[in-house]
Structure 1
Amino acid sequence: MTTTTDTATVLRLAVGRVAPPGVLATALALFAVQAVGARWWLRRYRYGPLEWLLRAWTTLTLPPLRRS
């Protein structure tokens, strides 16, 4: 709950204060960080963390996380 509240507060403070090019630059930077992080993760592990949890929950087993 606090994370949602904190995010809402930050967004309220930022509305109208960041120019569109700044928003675009921030979005592209976040996308680049996520792409690098995803590449790093998927080279080491078979599934993403949420996908692994969903597979474990639906099959009621613990699927292997690491690549062999």
Structure 2
Amino acid sequence: MTRTHMRFALIGLIAAVGASACTPTVRLQVDPIQIYAKLDADVRVRLDKELQDLLAENPNLF
């Protein structure tokens, strides 16, 4: 290899290293979501009452 070829190879190597150092980095950060839920006991009482009424109307349901 001649000196000129060596210089071109060295320049090509430096360019390749420089180009690989500039690769983009994508970072995705998702903050946690806090959900506050309050269930009312009235919902359960209503459902139980509806179920009792349904069973009273249809005693052979089950």
**TM-score of the superposition, structure 2-length normalised?**
0.39
Larger radius of gyration: 2
**TM-score of the superposition, structure 1-length normalised?**
0.36
Q: Which has the higher contact order (CA 8 A, sep 6+)?
A: 1
